Every structure is written in C-alpha cells, then in structure tokens.
Amino acid sequence: MLDWLWYAASFVVTLGILVSFHEFGHFWVARRCGVKVLTYSVGFGKAIWSRVARDGTRYQVGIIPLGGYVRMLDERVDEVSEQDKSVSFNAQSVYKRFAIVAAGPIANFILAVAVLWLMFGIGVPTVKPIIGDVEPGSIASQASFVEGSEIVKVDSVEAYDWQQVQLGLMSAIGNDQLSITVRSPDGELQQKTLNIQDWQFDPETETTFGSLGIQVYRPNVSTTLAQVVDDSPAQQAGLQTGDKVLELNGQALESWQTLTSTIAQSAGVELRLTIERNGVTQKITVIPGERERGSDVIGYLGIAPEVGELPQGYVFNHQYGIVGGLVKGAEQTWELMVVSVKMIGKLITGDVSVKNLAGPLSIAEGAGVSASSGFVYFLSFLALLSVNLGIINLVPLPMLDGGHLAFFIAEWVRGKPVSDKVQDICYRIGGALVFALMIVAISNDIMRFAF
C-alpha cells in the first residue's frame, strides 16, 4: 500500500510537470500572437486553487490531475464584443493558429532537452553494455557474439549503457534485420548483422537483449564466504569467513544463486552443507532464519560471497559540461523522438502488439520506481514521458493537437476552413479512437497488476 501511495504521488508530480510545460507552450505562443487567454489550468474539474492575474487570465489547479488546458477567447464558443474580436483565437491567421497549437508538443520536446541537459550535467552512474553469457542456439549465438564484447551501437543508436541498448532494440522490433556494432575483448570493432524475422519478445517477462540471448556481464561470484554476519544463523551454525561451500543437501553446489534461492525457500528448514576450510572438508547443518519481504516470509543465513573484480572502466559516471550536456540532451531527445514515431508506426501496422500500451498504473509505477532509484533516473523517465507526450499529441487525430494541425494544413491548401460538419464528424471518430486506446491501455494495466 505504501508503495502505491508513493507511486501515486510520483505520478501526480510527473504529470503535473509535463502538463504544465505542454500547456505553457500553447499559452506563451498565444500571448505572443495577441490572443486573449481566459484560463490556464493544470488538471481538470473543480479548481482547488485559482487566481485571476492583472492580465485577466485565470490560473488554476484542477482537482483531477490527469491533464490540463488553455482556454482562449473564441467566437465559436464565446460571446465576443466587437473590440475583442481581434484577440480571439478564430480571428487569427492560419499560420498563427498553427503555431499556437504546435507549441504544446514543441514545449514537451524542449522540456526533454532541458531535463536531459540537467541529467548529463549532474552525471549518470552507469555500466558499459558488456556482454556476459550468450545463450546457445539464440539469435545472438547465431550471429557469433562472444562474452566480454562491448556493445557500441544498435542500428543508429549510440549504446553507452544498457538503457540505450534497450532503446535501439525497441526501435528494431518488426524489422527483418538488425545491425549491432561491438568492440571485441581485444579492442577490434565488429559489425554484427542479426536475422530477427522470427524474434519473439515478451516485455512482461524479459528484456529485449535477453530475448536475443544476450545476458549482462557480471563478475564471477564464487561459493567462498567473504562475510558471515555476527549473531546470524550462519555464525551460530559455525560457518566462518573463507569457508567454501561444496555441497548442498548432498548435491554438488554449482553456483551461489542455487544456494541463495534454496535458503530463501527454506526458512526454519534444516540444510546440510559440505564445506572446505583450510583444505579440510567437513559437514555443517544450518537452519535459515526468517525475514519478511513484503507479504512473504523468506529464509536467510547472513552470509555473503567473494565476488570477482569488474573490468576497468566498466562502471563510469556519464557526465558532460555545459555545452556538451546540451548537445547530448538534444541528441538523445531526437533519438527518443525517432523511436517513439517508429513504435507508433509499428502499432498501426501490427508489428508491435497493443498489449504493449501502458496505462496510468504502469506510468505511475514507472514514475515511483524511477524516483526511488534517484533524481537522475527520475529525470531520465521524465524526459522519456515528455517526448512520448509530445509525439502522441502530434498524431493527426481530432481531439489531439495533431488533429487540429491537420485541419489547419487543409485550410492552408484549400484557402478556406474545413466545414464545421466535417470537423464534427472527424472529432467524433477521433474521440472514439482515443477512448478505445485508453480502454486498451487501462485493460493492459489491469491484466499486468491483477494477475
């Protein structure tokens, strides 16, 4: 419950920032074009705060934090006096109206650049995308990927970390081929071409690179104990630092993961260990204690393994100066825009399933998790959502900014506005499509979190 309260608070903050900037784009350009703005609202419904400024605009916060709007003087919906006709929205040239509507999505792209600029200025702690195990028979195995290689580029996306790898792979879903540039362990750059016609990816259960058979490199974890916690079940059973666990319940122990998963499932259950201490083999019986993890009870011993060293430079702080950070922020914003457009196109063609659409619950979870992970990770998530909001609003569906822009383009070509009857029909169809997509996204959320 506490997690979801945090997710809800993070969601409200995230959406508030995105909507405020989007609507400010409309507001600022409308004012520059001489249009009278009646209301600038973040959120819908009854105002929980409002103030009328000297310029006559009402600034308010609505009780429903799921959007916002800028209401401009418009003869089609307002009674406009003769002296105010020149400052109404409908009285402006098609170019000014186009600029006012386009300013919302553009503000989201500018916000993404600014957020990423700040993020790269602070620095992002990250790890290089170095390949660990390659699953035999997988797509990656068929393309001759080898452990220890570093992924440098996925198609045209620069891959300086695993998030960038994921971004590049997402944009390739539905393609027949995929190009990945790697740096081999001996430093040689190699371009791998993968046949992905039969690539199956389930975002609910795996990562994009995992579905190709690529695992993240991890240092070797031995079964030798590097730490035994004081007064823990392990110490009480006689385990000591430096002990090497050879067998678990009479079976040879192949990995530390096998030991930890067995301990987690064995709270209060006796386990028989065979260890090697100072060259001498001996048997020890341990009983894991109990520890709560959410609503579950898991077993624990209070031990930690010896872990091999990471390659030099594997972990780094991805940071730029003022100019470099701005350039990098703009570059990554463009990459996110390209990927977003590709994904929308693949949703339309069916190459990407509508099951991948995320609703408000998924967005709330993403906001909460990123905020919990740290400020720079929240900034990254905010930039991604800001770009997606801008791109989605440019889709030429009535009810969205893109639909209005499409009408303005038609007006510019024809030399006269599209008739009210045609616009009304288009708005009804567009509204139905937007509503249907919302139902699908919310249904996906229910399936993800309820089952």
Catalytic residues, by residue number, are 23
Q: Tokens representing 409?
A: 């383009």
Q: Which residues contact 429 (CB under 8 A, 6 or more apart)?
A: 398
Angle 304-306-308 from CA coordinates, rounded to 5°: 135
Q: Measured between alpha carbons, how far is 60 from 38 in angstroms, rounded to an integer?
A: 11
Q: Tokens representing 65?
A: 């934090």
Q: Which residues contact 154 (CB under 8 A, 6 or more apart)?
A: 164, 165, 167, 168, 169, 172, 178, 179, 180, 181
Half-sphere exposure of 43 (CA within 13 A, CB side): 18
Q: Measured between alpha carbons, how far is 397 from 426 in angstroms, rounded to an integer?
A: 8
Q: Measured between alpha carbons, how far is 40 from 301 in angstroms, rounded to an integer?
A: 58
The radius of gyration of the chain from alpha carbons, rounded to an integer in Å, stands at: 28
Q: Tokens representing 21?
A: 């900037």
Query: How do strand 189-195 and strand 289-293 relate by DSSP bridges?
Result: unpaired
Q: Tokens representing 29?
A: 């350009």
Q: Nearest Cα to 66, choosing from 442, 443, 448, 451?
A: 442
Q: Nearest Cα to 125, choosing from 319, 283, 281?
A: 319
